[in-house]
């Protein structure tokens, strides 16, 4: 029943990790895309979605952690997780370089997320057969 | 990348206040897509048309002026700004209020826009 | 094209979506959107009137407790089914 051809997917995540469970749904969708034989080279997090990259997010034991679900996708399949740098830094998500530049002692973004510009989204969209956006109501 | 391989993008923006950062993200995405020389159009749908109200002065609130960003779009090769006709009417926006070059579109034309682009980004 | 709707039945995004939904489209309800598939929901009936193929994401329907109370016109899909919808439809519009 599935497609014979492997499709190239790009995911655009606007939903913050605590906005309902949209982020978890998106991560599950990403895993399902790969399980169905397609490729997911990059997931781009924008606006409130950049909060998914916060290293210090602690999720209750009886709930799934969006951070864990996304980083597992990266670990298992090499999917790049990119936080839009302007959205990210506004929300306090800094990589080592940004932390140092602004005089903070440590990075706040999880190391498996990279901070990058919207050009990385544009690039991913150009290679993609499918661009799927996930957002949640405010 | 050859011109034949370029995929067109339609950025659909449906929020204004209080989701201002989302509205701003939509504009930035349209600008970035154009900056990287990919075909992109912007559609202001529903409440998104409120971003187009003229004479915005955001200096007292301390954030960037959305309308100024929108007015700069043609300079950056965003192909067209399309505006939901019904929503514009509902919110009292006249043609004179809109950025120059903005194109009013009814539902049929909006749907045609959706069908004419490779990728759609919903903001 | 594929529409995904993630907002409650009273949310204005539904009206935006309804205007653009066509009979050849598919609509997938996610998150708060699953409530539109409840058997007595009048906005859900408006969705059915468009003739589009209507789907509800199973995990979200179960989370909301609506899995056993869906209107007949809505089909439950799992994650693989969600992927299949994106295979079939080249364009997706996210309403939220």
Residue B7 — pLDDT band, cuts 50, 70, 90? very high
HEC string for B3-34: HHHCCCEEEEECCCCCCHHHHHHHHHHHHHHH
SS3 for C71? coil
Give yes or no for a contact between B82 and B42, defined as CB atoms under 8 angstroms apart: yes
Contacts A21 to C, Cβ<8 Å: 31, 60, 63
What is this structure's pTM? 0.96
Cα–Cα distance measured from residue C26 to residue C15, given in angstroms and rounded to the nearest whole number: 16
* Cα A133 to the center of its chain, rounded Å: 11
Phi/psi of residue C3, nearest 5 degrees: -110, 135
Give yes or no for a contact between B83 and B48, defined as CB atoms under 8 angstroms apart: no
Name which of A25, A38, A131 is nearest C30 (Cβ-Cβ).
Answer: A25
Cβ of B25 within 8 Å of Cβ of A133? The answer is no
Shortest Cα distance from A101 to chain B (angstroms)? 23
Alpha helices for chain A (secondary structure H): 22-35, 66-77, 85-90, 96-101, 119-127
Residue B17 — pLDDT band, cuts 50, 70, 90? confident
- Respond yes or no on whether the N-terminal peptide bond of residue C26 is cis (omega within 30° of 0): no
Residues forming a β-bridge with C3: C27, C93
Residue B99 CB contacts under 8 Å (≥ 6 apart), including other chains? B52, B67, B70, B71, B73, B81
Phi/psi of residue A102, nearest 5 degrees: -100, 10
Instruction: Give yes or no: A10 in active site.
Output: no
Is the pLDDT score of B81 beyond 90?
A: yes
Sheet of C92-95, strand order: C74-77, C53-57, C26-29, C2-5, C92-95
Q: What is the DSSP annotation of B58-98?
A: -TTTTS--HHHHHHTGGGGT---EEEEHHHHHHTT--GGGS
Name which of C1, C16, C90 is nearest B45 (Cβ-Cβ).
Answer: C16
Chains within contact range of chain B (3+ C-beta pairs < 8 Å): A, C
Cβ of A122 within 8 Å of Cβ of B6? The answer is no
Domain boundaries, chain B: 3-122
Cβ of C93 within 8 Å of Cβ of B122? The answer is yes
B17-23's contacts with Cβ under 8 Å and 24+ in sequence apart are B17/B50, B18/A138, B19/A138, B20/B63, B20/B66, B21/A47, B21/A48, B21/A87, B22/A14, B22/A47, B22/A48, B22/A135, B22/A138, B22/B123, B23/B48, B23/B51, B23/B66, B23/B123
| Of C32, C25, B7, nearest in space to A130 by CA | B7
Domain A8-134 has CATH 3.40.1260.10: yes
- Best of C2, C3, C11, C13 to disrupt the B interface (most B CBs within 10 Å) is C13
Contacts B47 to C, Cβ<8 Å: 12
Contacts B110 to C, Cβ<8 Å: 19-20
Residues forming a β-bridge with A131: A10
Q: Which residue of C has its CA nearest to B19?
A: C96
Confidence (pLDDT) at B20: 83
Cβ of A137 within 8 Å of Cβ of C92? The answer is no
Domain boundaries, chain A: 8-134
- pLDDT tens by residue, chain A, 138 residues: 455 689 999 999 999 999 899 999 999 999 999 999 999 999 999 999 999 999 999 999 999 999 999 999 999 999 999 999 999 999 999 999 999 999 999 999 999 999 999 999 999 999 999 999 999 997
Name which of B7, B35, B123 is nearest A126 (Cβ-Cβ).
Answer: B7
* Residue B56 token pair: 């915005």
Shortest Cα distance from C8 to chain A (angstroms)? 9
Confidence (pLDDT) at B1: 46
Mean pLDDT of B36-62: 94
* Cα B97 to the center of its chain, rounded Å: 15
CB burial string B74-87: b at 16+ within 10 A, e below: beeebbbbbbbbbb
How many of the other CB atoms lie within 10 Å of CB of A77? 15
* Residue C28 token pair: 């997938």
Q: In the CATH scheme, what is the code of domain C2-95?
A: 3.40.1260.10
Contacts B122 to C, Cβ<8 Å: 92-96
Domain boundaries, chain C: 2-95
Shortest Cα distance from A18 to chain C (angstroms)? 13
Cα–Cα distance measured from residue A21 to residue C55, given in angstroms and rounded to the nearest whole number: 18
Is ipTM > 0.85 here? yes
Q: In the CATH scheme, what is the code of domain B3-122?
A: 3.40.1260.10
Q: Residues 8-27, chain C: which have Cβ within 8 Å of B?
A: 12-13, 15-16, 19-20, 22
Cα–Cα distance measured from residue A48 to residue A135, given in angstroms and rounded to the nearest whole number: 9
Contacts C84 to A, Cβ<8 Å: 1-2, 36
Confidence (pLDDT) at A2: 52
Name the DSSP letter for residue B118: S
Shortest Cα distance from C94 to chain B (angstroms)? 5
Model pLDDT for residues C23-64, shown as the tens digit of each residue: 999 999 999 999 999 988 888 999 999 999 999 999 999 999
């Amino acid at each position: 029943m599935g497609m014979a051809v492997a499709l190239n997917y790009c995911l655009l995540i606007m939903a913050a990790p605590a906005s309902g469970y949209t982020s978890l749904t998106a991560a599950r969708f990403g895993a399902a895309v790969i399980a169905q034989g397609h490729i997911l080279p990059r997931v781009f997090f924008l606006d409130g979605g950049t909060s998914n990259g916060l290293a210090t997010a602690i999720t209750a034991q009886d709930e799934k952690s969006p951070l864990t679900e996304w980083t597992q996708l990266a670990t298992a399949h090499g999917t790049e997780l990119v936080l839009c740098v302007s959205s990210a830094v506004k929300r306090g998500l800094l990589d080592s370089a940004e932390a140092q530049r602004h005089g903070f002692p440590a990075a706040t973004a999880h190391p498996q997320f990279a901070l990058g510009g919207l050009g990385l989204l544009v690039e991913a969209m150009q290679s993609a057969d499918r661009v799927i956006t996930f957002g949640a109501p405010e | 990348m050859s011109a034949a391989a370029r995929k067109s993008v339609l950025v659909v923006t449906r929020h204004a206040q209080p989701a201002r950062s989302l509205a701003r993200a939509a504009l930035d995405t349209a600008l970035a897509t154009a900056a990287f020389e990919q075909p992109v159009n912007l559609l202001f749908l529903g409440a998104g048309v409120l971003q187009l109200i003229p004479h915005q002065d955001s200096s007292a609130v301390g954030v960037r002026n959305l309308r100024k960003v929108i007015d700069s779009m043609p300079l950056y090769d965003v192909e067209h700004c399309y505006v939901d006709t019904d929503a514009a009417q509902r919110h009292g926006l006249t043609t004179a209020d809109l950025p120059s070059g903005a194109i009013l579109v009814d539902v049929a034309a909006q749907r045609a826009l959706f069908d004419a682009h490779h990728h759609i980004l919903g903001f | 094209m594929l529409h995904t709707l993630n907002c409650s039945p009273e949310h204005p995004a539904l009206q935006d979506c309804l205007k653009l939904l066509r009979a050849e489209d598919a609509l997938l309800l996610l998150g708060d959107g699953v409530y539109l598939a409840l058997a007595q929901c009048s906005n859900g009936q408006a969705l059915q009137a468009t003739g589009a193929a209507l789907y509800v994401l199973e995990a979200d329907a179960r989370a909301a407790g609506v899995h056993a109370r869906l209107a007949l016109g809505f089909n439950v899909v799992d994650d693989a089914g969600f992927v299949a919808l994106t295979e079939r439809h080249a364009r997706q519009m996210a309403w939220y």
